[in-house]
C-alpha cells in the first residue's frame, strides 16, 4: 500500500507504553500526546494482523520503555505470529532479565539507547545511575542472539559529541552496529542549545570507509570503518531539514493509546483505530482506517 507520494508502507512502529524507567532530558516521547492509556496484547495483535494484510513486513516495538510492561513477552509472541521481522527499541535496563524470554517469544533484534560510555554523563542524560544495567542488558542481548544489535547514540553538543570515536571503537569490539542520530527539534530553544551539526561526522566517515551502503529506509547511509582487526558499522540518521529522509520514509506509527500516527513530527492528523477495535469492527473497516491514515502521510521536510 502506498501513500499519496508513492511511498510504499513496509513497516509499522508501535508504542506499547509511555511509561519509562529513565528520564532522558532529550526524549521526544515518539511524538505522542501524554496519555496513561495502553492497549492490551490482543489489541496490539489485531493491529499487527491488519498491518500484515495491507503488506506491512516489519514491526518495531517502542515505548516509552517497552520492557516496563510485564506482559511484553506475550505482546512479542502474539505479534510474531503474524510478522516475523519483530524488533524493539529499548534502553536495555531490563534486558538482562528479559532477553532469553524475548528471544523465545519471537523477538529478532534490538536497538539499545546508548548515548555515552561515561557513567557520570549517563546520569546527566537519563537522570538515573543505571549505566552498568545498560551494559548488562547489551551483553545479554549479544548472548541471546538478538542481532544485529544497534546502539542508538543521539549526538548532542557539549554532552557526548566528544565520544563518537570511542563509541565507534566500542561497537567494533562488541561487534554491534552504531547508529548516530541527529537531535530532532521539538523545542526550538532546546534544539539550538544541544543540536550538533552531524555533517562533518559524515564527511569523516566517508573518507575512512572501506565500504558504504545505502538503505532503502530514508536512504540512510551505512559506513564500514576498519578499527584494528575489526570493522565497525556506523549508520547515520539525519532527519532534520532532510527531504531525502522524509521522501523515503516507509513506515507508519501507532501511539500507545491506539492512534495511527502518520508522521513523528505531527500530532494533528492522528486516526483512531483502537476505538474501532473495541467496537468489534471488521477487518475491512480496519483496513479502510489504515488507508485513511496512510493517505494523510506527507513528507514533513519537502
Q: How many domains does the chain have?
A: 1
Percent of the chain exceeding pLDDT 70 equals 100
Q: Write the pLDDT tens digit of every residue in 49-64.
A: 999 999 999 999 999 9
Task: Report the CATH number at residue 189.
Answer: 3.20.20.70
Widest CA span of the chain, in angstroms? 59
Residue 4 domain-assigned (yes or no):
no
Residue 6 domain-assigned (yes or no):
no
Q: What is the pLDDT of residue 261?
A: 97
Residue 116 domain-assigned (yes or no):
yes
Give 22's pLDDT tier (boundaries 50, 70, 90). very high
Residue 1 domain-assigned (yes or no):
no
CA distance 241 to 194: 16
Instruction: List the Cα angle 214/208/226 in 5-degree steps.
Output: 90
Q: Write the pLDDT tens digit of every residue in 87-137.
A: 999 999 999 999 999 999 999 999 999 999 999 999 999 999 999 999 999
Q: Write the pLDDT tens digit of every residue in 260-278.
A: 999 998 999 999 999 999 9
Give 232-235 contacts, CB < 8 A, sequence gap 24+: 232/168, 232/169, 232/171, 232/172, 232/178, 233/171, 233/177, 233/178, 234/168, 234/171, 234/177, 234/178, 234/179, 234/180, 234/205, 235/150, 235/177, 235/178, 235/179, 235/180
Q: What is the pLDDT of residue 41?
A: 98
Q: Rounded mean pLDDT of the chain?
A: 96
Give, as one character, the DSSP assignment of residue 54. T
- pTM for the predicted model, two decimal places: 0.95
Residue 161 domain-assigned (yes or no):
yes
CA distance 53 to 260: 16
Is 140's pLDDT higher than 80?
yes
Q: What is the pLDDT of residue 240?
A: 87
Give 139's pLDDT tier (boundaries 50, 70, 90). very high
Q: Write the pLDDT tens digit of every residue in 153-192.
A: 999 999 999 999 999 999 999 999 999 999 987 788 888 9
**Domain hosting residue 139, numbered range:** 11-295
Residue 154 domain-assigned (yes or no):
yes
Residue 187 domain-assigned (yes or no):
yes
Q: What is the pLDDT of residue 184?
A: 86
Q: What is the pLDDT of residue 241?
A: 84
Q: How far is CA 162 from CA 16, 118, 156, 175, 196, in A?
A: 33, 11, 9, 21, 11
Nearest alpha-carbon partner for 209 in 241, 240, 168: 168
Do 11 and 218 form a contact (C-beta atoms < 8 A)? no
Residue 29 domain-assigned (yes or no):
yes
Amino acid at each position: 500500500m502506498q501513500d499519496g507520494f508513492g511511498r510504499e508502507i513496509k513497516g509499522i512502529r508501535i508504542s506499547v507504553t509511555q511509561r519509562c524507567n529513565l528520564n532522558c532530558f532529550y526524549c521526544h516521547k515518539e511524538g505522542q500526546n501524554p496519555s496513561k492509556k495502553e492497549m492490551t496484547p490482543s489489541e496490539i495483535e489485531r493491529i499487527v494482523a491488519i498491518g500484515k494484510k495491507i503488506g506491512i513486513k516489519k514491526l518495531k516495538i517502542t515505548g516509552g520503555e517497552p520492557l516496563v510492561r510485564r506482559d511484553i513477552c506475550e505482546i512479542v509472541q502474539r505479534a510474531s505470529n503474524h510478522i516475523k521481522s519483530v524488533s524493539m527499541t529499548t534502553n536495555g535496563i531490563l534486558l538482562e532479565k528479559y532477553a532469553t524470554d524475548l528471544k523465545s517469544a519471537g523477538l529478532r533484534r534490538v536497538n539499545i539507547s546508548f548515548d555515552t560510555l561515561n557513567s557520570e554523563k549517563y546520569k546527566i542524560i537519563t537522570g538515573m545511575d543505571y549505566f552498568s544495567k545498560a551494559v548488562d542488558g547489551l551483553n545479554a542481548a549479544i548472548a541471546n542472539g538478538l542481532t544485529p544489535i544497534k546502539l542508538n547514540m543521539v549526538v548532542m553538543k557539549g554532552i557526548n559529541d566528544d565520544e563518537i570515536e570511542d563509541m565507534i571503537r566500542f561497537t567494533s569490539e562488541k561487534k554491534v552496529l552504531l547508529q548516530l542520530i541527529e537531535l530532532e527539534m521539538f523545542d526550538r530553544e532546546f534544539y539550538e542549545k544541544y543540536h550538533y551539526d552531524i555533517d562533518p561526522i559524515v564527511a569523516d566517515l566517508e573518507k575512512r570507509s572501506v565500504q558504504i551502503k545505502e538503505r532503502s529506509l530514508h536512504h540512510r547511509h551505512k559506513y564500514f570503518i576498519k578499527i584494528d582487526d575489526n570493522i565497525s558499522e556506523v549508520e547515520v540518521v539525519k532527519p532534520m531539514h532532510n527531504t531525502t529522509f522524509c521522501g523515503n520514509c516507509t513506515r507508519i506509527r501507532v501511539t500507545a493509546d491506539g492512534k495511527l500516527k502518520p508522521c513523528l513530527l505531527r500530532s494533528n492528523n492522528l486516526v483512531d483505530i483502537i476505538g474501532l477495535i473495541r467496537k468489534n469492527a471488521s477487518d475491512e473497516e480496519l483496513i479502510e482506517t489504515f488507508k485513511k491514515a496512510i493517505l494523510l502521510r506527507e513528507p514533513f521536510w519537502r
